């Protein structure tokens, strides 16, 4: 009896699962670049890359559809169970989050162009918050994908922790933005662009958190969506005594 | 992750092998064919009105275990058993137990449909006749009709009750065998791969039937189809090399099995 549990009896099944996992990580790489470039565009004010970011959005969409179709094929052909089932479900959910992150990155790029073409005096509003939040979500995106690739629950929980910080920074940036608008109503047009950008960055953080939740599901089978950070930590400890 | 055979020596079953309201209870059961031990120290409850699926690779002992539950192994000379099997707290291997009424209480359906070379009516009436369960022809007619209805076959055969049972399709023959089993009003039904010789539609009908039968009976089913185990059972027991590795609610076994051998088997990493 073959006792190598890393391989399926069907080599093709191994290849199929490996295929969706690798494609998802490649899609993640592309989305990570989209997010980083869009943050770079808004922080540096150099919007030359914005058009490219908006164009590449189509590639991200196409990858989502293709990977999701392959997940469907695996479900139909293999009726996967246990960790294989969790891999297919997790990949299918993660590509959806990645696609939305791509959308948000494109939104940042679109509004970066509008900010660059608008009132220059007001274009620096919340500059620091955008910079901090932007760098945080770029790192979170990359960390969430790393955690997925390495089945790293601890790493996934760190991303969830960072998302909490990004949410706090977002709330504080909105308060700052309201102050600008009250002080100078002429800045409202720009402020709305900045608001959209902050909102998009905050959403990218939420999607990175969702990906991390899928890492926990993939590894332990526990669905931690809608759980608090402390509940997640507790769950991870009870599921994985070796991982504490 | 390479697992050696040592890994499962003296294995203590993972999960929940016991039930709150057991119908059949196996306690520390060992089964031997001559010198060869086929089942090692299996303790498992089958709860009243539950469907339990027994799964595992060929030669893992699941069918052997199933056959201990109504002493079908008695028919094999070299087969011996240690431990206890309790049906409603009474040891079925006790010295005074007669296997004929026992097998009426714990009925069995086999892999290949095996209708007697008799009419449909006589197939179903056979058990009630030999056990003296019907006092009159009218009562026997009622039992036959009720059993065929419960087996979901009545509408298909009511106009040809006196044609040979062997003239039915495979799926109909299997439902006839189920009708024959339930005609003697058993408490437990054992099924040994009841659908492996049937097409998908006949299989779906039997699975639907298993779900209906659960209201009245306790069912243990051995199956090689993991999807079937997932569809019909509430608990799943995974056997490996004669040991009971894991018993857990079916939903859990197929999404997050606790033991790595269960995981490896149901994901098709060996078998």
Burial per residue of B39-53, b for 16 or more beta-carbon CB atoms within 10 angstroms, e otherwise: bbbbbbbbbbebbbb
* Contact criterion met (CB < 8 Å) for B2 and A83: no
pTM: 0.85
Question: Whole-angstrom Cα distance, residue B60 to residue B63?
Answer: 8
Give residue A240's pLDDT: 58
For residues A217 and A86, the answer to whether their CB atoms sit within 8 Å is yes
Contact A1 B270 (CB under 8 A): yes
ipTM entry: 0.78
- Taking CA–CA distances from A2, the nearest residue in chain B reads B270
Enumerate chain B positions whose Cβ falls within 8 A of a Cβ in A. Answer: 1-4, 57, 226-227, 230, 254-257, 260, 262-264, 266-271
* Residue B212 or A235, more confident: B212
Q: Which of B226, B230, B263 lies closest to A83 in CB terms?
A: B263
Q: Are A85 and B255 in contact (CB < 8 Å)?
A: yes
Q: In chain B, which residue's Cα lies nearest the Cα of A11?
A: B269
**DSSP symbol at B41:** E
Percentage of chain B modeled with pLDDT above 70: 96
For the cut 70, the answer to whether the pLDDT of residue B7 exceeds it is no
Query: Is residue B225 one of the residues assigned to a domain?
Result: yes
Kindly determine whether residue A82 and residue B226, on different chains, have CB atoms separated by under 8 Å.
Answer: no
Number of folded domains in chain B? 1
| Chosen CATH of A11-243 out of 3.40.50.720, 1.10.510.10, 1.20.1560.10, 1.20.58.220 | 1.20.58.220
Residue A76 touches partner B, C-beta closer than 8 Å: no
d(CA B223, CA A60): 43
* Total CB pairs under 8 A between chain A and B: 59
Place of tokens 């069918």: B63
Contacts of A77 in chain B (CB under 8 A): none
Searching chain A, which residue's CA lies closest to the CA of residue B240?
A1
Mean pLDDT of chain B, nearest integer: 93
Q: Domain for residue B271, yes or no?
A: no
CA neighbours within 13 Å on the CB side: how many for A8? 17
Q: Say whether A5 and B264 touch across the interface (CB within 8 A).
A: yes
Q: Where are the alpha helices (DSSP H) in B14-168?
A: 62-68, 99-105, 120-130, 137-150, 154-157
- Site from A10, A78, A83 to mutate, B interface, most B CB atoms within 10 angstroms: A83
Residues (pLDDT < 50) of chain A are: 241-244
Q: What is the pLDDT of residue A223?
A: 92
Domain boundaries, chain A: 11-243
| Confidence band, pLDDT 50/70/90 cuts, at residue B2 | very low
Distance, CA of B112 to CA of B76 (rounded, Å): 19
Classify strands B14-15 and B243-249 as parallel, antiparallel or unpaired: parallel
Residue B265 has pLDDT above 60, yes or no: yes
Query: Touching check for A239 and chain B: CB below 8 Å?
Result: no
Q: Tell me, letter by letter, the H, E, C secondary structure of chain A.
A: CCCECCCCCCHHHHHHHHHHHHHHHHHHHHHHHHHHHHHHHHHHCCHHHHHHHHHHHHHHHHHHHHHHHHHHHHHHHHCCCHHHHHHHHHHHHHHHHHHHHHHHHHHHHHHHHHHHHCCCHHHHCCHHHHHHHHHHHHHHHHHHHHHHHHCCHHHHHHHHHHHHHHHHHHHHHHHHHHHHHHHCHHHHHHHHHHHHHHHHHHHHHHHHHHHHHHHHHHHHCCCCCCCCHHHHHHHHHHHCHHHC
Q: Would you say residue B111 lies in a domain?
A: yes
Which letter does DSSP use for residue B59 in this model?
T
For an interface test with A, the pick among B57, B59, B266, B269 (most A C-beta atoms closer than 10 Å) comes out as B269
Instruction: Indicate the residue of A10, A86, A220 with minimum beta-carbon distance to B268.
Output: A10
A85 burial class (0-12, 13-18, 19+ CB within 10 angstroms)? Answer: buried
SS3 (DSSP) at B208:
helix
**Nearest-10 crossing angle of helices A11-44, A188-220:** 160
Q: Give the nearest chain B residue to A17 (CA atoms).
A: B267
pLDDT at B4: 41
Least Cα separation, residue B265 to chain A (angstroms) = 9
Per-residue confidence band for B8, with pLDDT thresholds at 50, 70 and 90: low
Contact check, Cβ <8 Å, B254/A220? no
CA nearest to B5, candidates A3, A127, A62: A3
Q: Which residues of A touch B268 (CB under 8 A)?
A: 8-10, 13, 78, 84
Task: Report which DSSP code applies to B205.
Answer: H
Confidence category of residue B9, pLDDT binned at 50, 70, 90: low
Q: Which residue pairs, CB below 8 angstroms and at least 24 apart, start in B168-171? A: B168/B115, B168/B120, B169/B202, B170/B113, B170/B197, B170/B198, B170/B199, B170/B202, B171/B198, B171/B199, B171/B201, B171/B202, B171/B203, B171/B205, B171/B206
**Strand, coil or helix: B174:** helix
Looking at the complex, report in whole angstroms how far the Cα of residue A169 sits from the nearest Cα belonging to chain B. 37
For residue B117, being part of any structural domain is answered with yes
Nearest residue, CB atoms, B227 vs list A6, A10, A79: A79
CA–CA dist B11, B15 (Å, integer):
12
Q: Positive or negative, the Cα torsion across B110, B111, B117, B118?
A: positive
- Does the beta carbon of A240 lie under 8 angstroms from any beta carbon of chain B? no
Distance (Å, rounded) from C-alpha B89 to C-alpha B107? 18
- Cβ of B263 and A5 within 8 Å? yes
Task: Determine whether A228 is exposed, middle or buried from the number of CB atoms within 10 Å of its CB (0-12, 13-18, 19+).
Answer: exposed
Per-residue pLDDT reduced to its tens digit, B130-157: 999 999 999 999 999 999 998 999 999 9
- How far apart CA A99 and CA A82 sit, in angstroms, is 26
Q: Is A85 on the interface with B (CB under 8 A)?
A: yes
Q: What is the CATH number of the domain that holds B234?
A: 3.40.50.300
Here the tokens at position B107 are: 């009925």
Q: pLDDT by residue (tens digit) across B43-99?
A: 999 999 999 999 999 999 999 999 999 999 998 999 999 999 999 999 999 999 999
pLDDT for the residue numbered A46: 86
Measure CB to CB from residue B255 to each of A1, A8, A82 and give the nearest one: A82
Interchain contact, A81 vs B266, CB within 8 Å: yes
Across the interface, which of B4, B57, B254 has its CB nearest the CB of A82? B254
Q: In Å, how far is B260's CA from the nearest CA of chain A?
A: 9
Can you give the pLDDT at residue B160? 96
Q: For residue B108, what are the domain limits?
A: 5-266
Coil, helix or strand at residue B118: coil
**What are the residue ranges of helices labelled H in chain B?**
62-68, 99-105, 120-130, 137-150, 154-157, 170-182, 200-213, 226-232, 250-255, 260-266
């Amino acid at each position: 009896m073959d006792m190598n549990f890393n391989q399926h009896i069907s080599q093709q099944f191994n290849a199929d699962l490996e295929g969706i996992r690798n494609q998802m990580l490649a899609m993640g790489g592309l989305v990570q670049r989209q997010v980083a470039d869009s943050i770079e565009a808004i922080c540096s004010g150099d919007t030359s890359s914005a058009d490219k970011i908006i164009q590449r959005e189509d590639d991200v969409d196409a990858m989502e559809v293709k990977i999701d179709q392959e997940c469907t094929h695996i479900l139909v052909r293999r009726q996967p169970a246990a960790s294989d089932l969790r891999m297919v479900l997790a990949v299918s959910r993660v590509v959806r989050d990645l696609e939305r992150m791509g959308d948000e990155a494109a939104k940042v790029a679109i509004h970066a162009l509008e900010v660059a073409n608008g009132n220059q005096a007001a274009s620096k509003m919340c500059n620091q918050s955008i910079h901090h939040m932007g760098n945080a979500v770029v790192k979170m995106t990359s960390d969430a994908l790393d955690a997925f690739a390495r089945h790293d629950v601890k790493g996934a929980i760190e991303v969830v922790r960072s998302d909490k910080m990004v949410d706090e920074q977002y709330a504080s940036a909105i308060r700052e933005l309201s102050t600008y608008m009250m002080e100078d109503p002429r800045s409202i047009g720009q402020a709305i662009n900045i608001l959209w950008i902050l909102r998009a960055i905050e959403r990218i953080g939420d999607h990175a958190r969702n990906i991390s939740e899928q890492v926990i599901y993939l590894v332990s089978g526990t669905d931690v969506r809608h759980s608090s950070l402390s509940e997640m930590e507790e769950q991870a400890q009870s599921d994985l005594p070796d991982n504490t | 992750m390479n697992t050696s055979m040592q890994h499962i020596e003296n294995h203590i079953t993972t999960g929940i092998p016991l039930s709150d309201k057991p119908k059949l209870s196996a306690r520390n059961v060992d089964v031997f064919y001559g010198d060869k031990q086929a089942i090692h120290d299996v303790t498992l409850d089958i709860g009243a009105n539950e469907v339990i699926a027994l799964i595992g690779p060929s030669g893992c002992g699941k069918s052997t275990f199933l056959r201990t539950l109504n002493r079908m192994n008695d028919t094999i000379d070299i087969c011996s058993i240690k431990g206890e099997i309790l049906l409603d707290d009474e040891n079925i291997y006790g010295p005074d137990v007669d296997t004929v009424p026992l097998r009426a209480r714990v009925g069995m359906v086999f892999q290949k449909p095996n209708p007697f070379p008799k009419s449909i009516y006589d197939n179903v009436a056979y058990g009630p006749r030999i056990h003296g369960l019907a006092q009159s022809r009218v009562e026997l007619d009622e039992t036959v009709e009720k059993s065929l209805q419960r087996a979901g076959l009545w509408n298909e055969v009511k106009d040809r009750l006196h044609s040979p049972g062997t003239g039915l399709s495979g799926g109909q023959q299997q439902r006839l065998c189920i009708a024959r089993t339930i005609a003697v009003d058993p408490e437990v039904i054992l099924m040994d791969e009841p659908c492996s010789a049937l097409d998908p539609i006949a299989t779906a009908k039997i699975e639907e039937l298993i779900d209906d039968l659960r209201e009245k009976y306790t069912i243990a089913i051995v199956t090689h189809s993991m999807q079937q185990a997932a569809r019909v059972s509430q608990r799943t027991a995974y056997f490996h090399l004669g040991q009971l590795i894991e018993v857990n609610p079916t939903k859990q076994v197929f999404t997050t099995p606790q033991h790595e051998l269960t995981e490896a088997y149901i994901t098709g990493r060996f078998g």
